[in-house]
């Protein structure tokens, strides 16, 4: 497994703060005024233009690629697929930079300087950031729906934002529930059984911990799975944070009670410590992803099992962990100088890199689970002596999309502070206090950085779509200055309430 897969806990860097001013602010006022007039009944004409359809080329073409620099099996699989591609398309030369790995911090900088590669392999979160920055192409005009439907719904959702398909997924993965068969012969089928099994192990005393999982250890990545189990979500339909609803607070309370009520968990753990406890045979369960499987198998051998996070028997809902993917984006002409011929060549390249043969090979060599339905069916019917495949396929049926919306960065970046406050001051800080702190911090950051769901009751995406390249939602500076500038449109007082502006 790639150690840099998007679903592992990581530190997130918020998109750069935008600063307003100048001619762009005046343009914003004009466009917003047009939209408001349109809402009153005046026809609104589309002012952006979708990319024209690319055509094949018989000339020699060279494309540049970043993001192949993953260790082990993924690198081998990548190189084999490139060889297959260049054999099939001898007029296309691939210039790869293996020194650049996924989640590189240099891509956006290069793109804004016009020196980005034509193709970039990265996580769906970073692909979305490239889209909203205007440096990744919308691939929707180039691909027919039959082809798009050949991928699993979850992975296409990971690579779709505001109606734009900004990349093609090559894999998918996320967390499930590992269990130690020596301690728990029969895996739990519901949350009550999971807690009772974990408690039986914790009751053995030190060094046993039934379910080692520190709520604040991974920026809320694994915790997000429990929100749907209680009918909650991180954002509502207008992309306004709602992590302090009664349902969300119930999810927080449930996981917090693992420590304070049931004694199956403790504070002060890290992901490494949790893994060490499980590998030592001192815990019943460990919540983690396929990337940990080879290490866990070495420690536990045939006693290692994996199942989906169990059904919540109290609410009737399944937990839904975040499952995301790595994939390929194609840069815009402004970002890389890519020509129509290079765009066509890049499309052919990424289609090859994510085709059935490449994905099955990637699974064989690196254990990456496929994004293509056909490849998933193949590995299900050919276990490759991996007894855990069934558990991961079962978990994939109960997932939520990864953080392909840039707004999710502000959930991760504020989660640790809120939970740390709860853990360090539990005598005075309640779960509800921590949830309110998290939401307040998210809202403050979203406002500061110009991510606001709508203007005058008109969807924010429409406002940004009119202004942005290829109808993409662009988090530009002048939205944060809206209170100062909307008077040009005859609006002098603005109130903000759950994602909508009202005069």
**Do 283 and 233 fall within a single domain?**
yes
Please give the pLDDT value at position 69: 63
Please give the pLDDT value at position 327: 94
Three-state helix/strand/coil letters over 324-362: ECEEEEEECHHHHCCCHHHHHHHHHHHHHHCCHHHHHHH
In a domain, 477, yes or no: no
* Cis peptide bond prior to 207, omega within 30° of 0: yes
Given a contact cutoff of 8 angstroms between Cβ atoms, the answer to whether 77 and 83 are in contact is no
**Do 131 and 193 fall within a single domain?**
no
Q: Rounded to an integer, what distance in angstroms lies between the CA atom of residue 262 and that of residue 202?
A: 9
Please give the pLDDT value at position 104: 66
Where is mean pLDDT largest: 71-80, 145-154, 190-199, 455-464?
A: 190-199
Q: Rounded to an integer, what distance in angstroms lies between the CA atom of residue 319 and that of residue 311?
A: 7
In a domain, 51, yes or no: no
Please give the pLDDT value at position 494: 30
* pLDDT surpassing 90 at residue 376: no
**Do 346 and 238 fall within a single domain?**
no
Please give the pLDDT value at position 19: 31
**Do 313 and 246 fall within a single domain?**
yes
Confidence at 381, pLDDT banded by 50, 70, 90: confident
* pLDDT surpassing 50 at residue 405: yes
Q: Rounded to an integer, what distance in angstroms lies between the CA atom of residue 441 and that of residue 107?
A: 28
Given a contact cutoff of 8 angstroms between Cβ atoms, the answer to whether 129 and 76 are in contact is no
Q: Rounded to an integer, what distance in angstroms lies between the CA atom of residue 260 and that of residue 424?
A: 13
Q: Rounded to an integer, what distance in angstroms lies between the CA atom of residue 13 and that of residue 203?
A: 40
The pTM assigned to this predicted structure is 0.69
Percent pLDDT > 70 in the chain is: 75
**Do 312 and 387 fall within a single domain?**
no
Instruction: Count CB atoms within 10 A of the CB of residue 236.
Output: 13
Lowest mean pLDDT among 1-10, 56-65, 344-353: 1-10
In a domain, 283, yes or no: yes
Count the helix, strand and coil residues of the chain and give each as a percent rounded to the nearest 5.
45, 15, 40
In a domain, 466, yes or no: no
Residue 387 maps to which CATH number? Answer: 3.40.190.10
**Do 167 and 277 fall within a single domain?**
no
Q: Using the 3D structure, point to which of 388, 422, 443 is the last residue of a domain.
A: 443
pLDDT in tens, 119-160: 999 989 889 889 989 999 999 999 999 999 999 888 998 999
**Do 289 and 140 fall within a single domain?**
no
Please give the pLDDT value at position 225: 96
Confidence at 292, pLDDT banded by 50, 70, 90: confident
Stretch 274-280: mean pLDDT: 96
In a domain, 349, yes or no: yes
**Do 278 and 426 fall within a single domain?**
yes
**Do 78 and 167 fall within a single domain?**
yes
Confidence at 485, pLDDT banded by 50, 70, 90: very low
Lowest mean pLDDT among 46-55, 232-241, 367-376: 46-55
Stretch 229-252: mean pLDDT: 93
* pLDDT surpassing 50 at residue 52: no
**Do 195 and 273 fall within a single domain?**
yes
**Do 309 and 249 fall within a single domain?**
yes
* pLDDT surpassing 80 at residue 16: no
Please give the pLDDT value at position 8: 36
Total domains in the chain come to 2
**Do 208 and 103 fall within a single domain?**
no
In a domain, 468, yes or no: no
* pLDDT surpassing 80 at residue 301: yes
Number of H helices, E strands in the chain: 20, 16
Please give the pLDDT value at position 390: 85
In a domain, 115, yes or no: yes
Instruction: Count CB atoms within 10 A of the CB of residue 197.
Output: 22
Please give the pLDDT value at position 23: 35
Given a contact cutoff of 8 angstroms between Cβ atoms, the answer to whether 411 and 404 are in contact is no
Stretch 3-18: mean pLDDT: 33
Three-state helix/strand/coil letters over 276-323: HHHHCCCCCEEEECHHHHHHHHHHHHHHEEEECCCEECCCCECCCCEE
What is the extent of the structural domain holding 251?
Answer: 178-322+406-443
User: b/e per residue, 312-345, with b = 16+ CB within 10 A?
Assistant: beebebbbbbbbbbbbbbbbbeebbebeebbbbb
pLDDT in tens, 167-217: 999 999 889 999 999 999 999 999 999 999 999 999 999 999 999 998 888
Lowest mean pLDDT among 83-92, 94-103, 223-232: 94-103
Given a contact cutoff of 8 angstroms between Cβ atoms, the answer to whether 81 and 353 are in contact is yes
Given a contact cutoff of 8 angstroms between Cβ atoms, the answer to whether 233 and 242 are in contact is yes
Q: How many residues are given for the chain?
A: 503
Q: Rounded to an integer, what distance in angstroms lies between the CA atom of residue 382 and that of residue 203?
A: 40
Task: Rounding to the nearest 10 degrees, give the CA dihedral for residues 334, 340, 342, 347.
Answer: 100
* pLDDT surpassing 50 at residue 491: no
In a domain, 32, yes or no: no
């Amino acid at each position: 497994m790639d150690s840099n897969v998007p679903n592992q806990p990581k530190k997130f860097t918020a998109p750069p703060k935008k600063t307003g001013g100048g001619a762009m602010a005046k343009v914003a006022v004009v466009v917003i005024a047009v939209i408001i007039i349109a809402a009153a009944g005046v026809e609104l004409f589309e002012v952006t233009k979708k990319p024209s359809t690319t055509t094949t080329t018989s000339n020699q073409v060279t494309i540049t690629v970043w993001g192949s620099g993953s260790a082990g099996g993924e690198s081998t699989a990548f190189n084999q697929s490139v060889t297959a591609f260049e054999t099939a398309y001898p007029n296309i030369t691939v210039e790869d930079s293996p020194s650049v790995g996924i989640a590189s911090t240099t891509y956006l900088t290069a793109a804004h300087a016009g020196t980005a590669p034509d193709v970039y392999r990265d996580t769906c979160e970073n692909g979305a950031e490239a889209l909203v920055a205007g440096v990744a192409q919308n691939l929707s005009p180039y691909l027919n729906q039959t082809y798009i439907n050949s991928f699993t719904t979850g992975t296409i959702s990971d690579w779709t934002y505001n109606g734009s398909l900004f990349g093609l997924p090559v894999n998918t993965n996320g967390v499930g529930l590992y269990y130690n068969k020596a301690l728990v012969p029969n895996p739990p089928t519901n949350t009550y059984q999971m807690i009772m099994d974990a408690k039986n192990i914790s009751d053995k005393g030190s060094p046993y911990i039934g379910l080692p999982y520190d709520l604040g250890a991974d920026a809320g990545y694994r915790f997000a799975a429990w929100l749907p189990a209680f009918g909650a979500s991180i954002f509502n339909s207008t992309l306004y944070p709602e992590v302090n609803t009664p349902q969300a607070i119930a999810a927080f309370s449930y996981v917090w009670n693992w420590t304070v009520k049931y004694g199956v968990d403790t504070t002060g753990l890290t992901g490494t410590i949790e893994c060490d406890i499980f590998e030592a045979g001192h815990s019943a369960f460990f919540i983690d992803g396929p990337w940990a499987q080879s290490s866990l198998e070495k420690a536990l051998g045939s006693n290692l099992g994996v199942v989906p996070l169990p059904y919540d028997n109290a609410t009737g809902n399944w937990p839904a962990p975040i499952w995301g993917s790595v994939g390929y984006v194609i840069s815009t002409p402004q970002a890389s100088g890519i020509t129509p011929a290079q765009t066509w060549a890049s499309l052919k390249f990424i289609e090859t890199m994510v085709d059935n043969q490449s994905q099955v090979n990637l699974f064989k060599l690196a254990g990456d689970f496929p994004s293509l339905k056909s490849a998933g069916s193949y590995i299900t019917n050919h276990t490759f002596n991996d007894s855990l495949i069934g558990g991961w396929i079962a978990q994939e049926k109960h997932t939520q999309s990864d953080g392909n919306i840039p707004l999710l960065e502000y959930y991760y970046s504020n989660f640790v502070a809120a939970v740390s406050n709860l853990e360090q001051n539990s005598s005075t800080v309640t779960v509800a206090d921590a949830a309110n702190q998290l939401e307040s911090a998210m809202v403050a950051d979203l406002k500061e950085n110009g991510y606001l769901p709508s203007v005058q009751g008109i969807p924010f995406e429409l406002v940004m779509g009119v202004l942005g390249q290829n109808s993409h939602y662009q988090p530009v500076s002048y939205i944060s200055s809206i209170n100062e500038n909307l008077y040009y449109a005859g609006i002098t007082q603005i109130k903000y309430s759950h994602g909508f502006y009202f005069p």
